[in-house]
Amino acid sequence: ARLREDLPGAWDRGELSVLFQPVVSLGEQRVTGVEALLRWQHPELGEVPPAEFVPIAERAGVIGELQRWALTHAATAVLTLPCTGAPLRLGVNISASHVAARTLVRDVAAVLQSTGLAPERLILEITEATIMSEGEHVAVDIEALRLMGVHVALDDFGTGRSSLAHLTRLPIDVLKLDHAFVLRVDRDPKVRALCESVVSIAGALGLDVVAEGVETPAQLGALRAAGCGFAQGFLLARPMRPRELVDVLDDGA
Ligand code: G
Ligand code: G
Ligand code: MN
Ligand code: NA
C-alpha cells in the first residue's frame, strides 16, 4: 500500500533514475547499444527494484506516465553520449499493460518528437508473452511502430511459451536470448546445440541475437562459437550511470 501510494509522481520528485547496461557486438568488439533499466530510490524504504514497482505502476494505471518519463529520460541521456562509430542504440523495456493500453504508439512518437532521437536508434524490448497474448491490435500497434522506423526486440526469449515456429510470424528485429540459456551454454551440449540453432534461424530471418546475463568467459566463448552476434552481462559491463558509460565507450570496450 505504501509503494502504491508513493509511486505516482516519484518521477517528478526526482526519485527515479535510469541505469544503462552496455550491449557489446562480439564481431566488432565494441559497445553498440545500451539497455535502459529503471531504478527507484524511495526516500525512506531505499532502493525498490523495478520487478516490484513496475507491476504496481501497471495496477495503479500509471504505467504510461512512468514509461514516458523513462523513455524521455533515457533518450535524452543517450543523446548526450559521445559517439565514435555508428550511433548507439537504446533498448527500453515495455511492459504488457502499456502495450495493452494502446497508448504505446502515441507515447513513443511523442518522445521521439520531443527528444529528437532517431527512431532507428530505439529498440522496444517486449516479452513474447506480451506480443502473443494481447490480441489483434498488438500486431497493428507494433507494425505502426516499425513503420516509424523503431525496432522491436523479443525479450527473455526461451522463457515461457517461446517457440521457434513463432519467430517466423513475429514482427521483431532483435532476439534477446534469456539468461537461463546463457547460464548453461558452456556446460550443456544440448543447450549449446539449441543456441546454435536459434542463432542460425535468427540469421535466416534477419534478426540480431543478443545473449543476456553473460557472467563468465566460458559462457562468452561458447556464445561466440555458436555465432551469437551480441552479448550483455556483468562480465562485459554492469548497468551504469551515463557518466560511467563514457569510459566504456572511450575504451572501445
Ligand atoms: O534491472 P533489473 O534486473 O532489476 O530489472 C528487472 C526487470 O525490470 C526486468 O525484467 C526489466 O525488463 C524491468 N524493467 C527495467 N526497467 C524498466 C522500464 O523502464 N520499463 C518496464 N516496463 N520494465 C522495466
Ligand atoms: O527482463 P530483462 O531482460 O529486461 O532484465 C534485465 C535484467 O537483467 C536487469 O535487471 C539487469 O540488471 C539484469 N542483468 C544484467 N546482466 C546480468 C548478469 O550478467 N547476470 C544477471 N543475473 N542479471 C543480469
Ligand atoms: Mn530487457
Ligand atoms: Na531479458
Cα 235 from Cα 155, distance rounded (Å): 20
Ligand 4 centroid to Cα of residue 232, in Å, is: 10
Q: Probe ligand 2: pick from 17, 23, 37, 38, max atoms within 8 Å of CB?
A: 37
How many residues belong to the chain?
253
* Residue 138 in contact with ligand 1 by CB distance below 6 A: no
Ligand 4 centroid to Cα of residue 163, in Å, is: 16
> Is ipTM strictly over 0.90?
yes
Give the pocket of ligand 2 (CB within 6 Å): 21, 37, 93, 125, 155-156, 179, 212-215, 233-234, 239
Cα 20 from Cα 26, distance rounded (Å): 19
Non-local CB neighbours of 118 within 8 Å, separated by 6+ positions: 87, 112, 149
CA 84 to each of CA 31, 111, 242: distance values in angstroms, whole numbers, following the listed order: 11, 24, 16
* Residue 47 in contact with ligand 1 by CB distance below 6 A: no
Ligand 3 centroid to Cα of residue 246, in Å, is: 21
β-sheet bridge partners, residue 31? 24
pLDDT tens readout for residues 105-140: 999 999 999 999 999 999 999 988 888 775 678 888
Q: Which residue has the cell 546463457?
A: 182
pTM of the model: 0.96
Ligand nearest to the CA of 239: 2
pLDDT tens readout for residues 164-193: 777 888 889 999 999 999 999 999 999 999
Which of ligand 2's atoms lies nearest the C-alpha of 235?
A: 19
pLDDT tens readout for residues 189-229: 999 999 999 999 999 999 999 999 999 999 999 999 999 99
> Mean pLDDT score of the chain, rounded to an integer?
93
Ligand 4 centroid to Cα of residue 178, in Å, is: 6
Ligand 2 centroid to Cα of residue 136, in Å, is: 30
β-sheet bridge partners, residue 24? 31, 231
Which of ligand 1's atoms lies nearest the C-alpha of 71?
A: 19
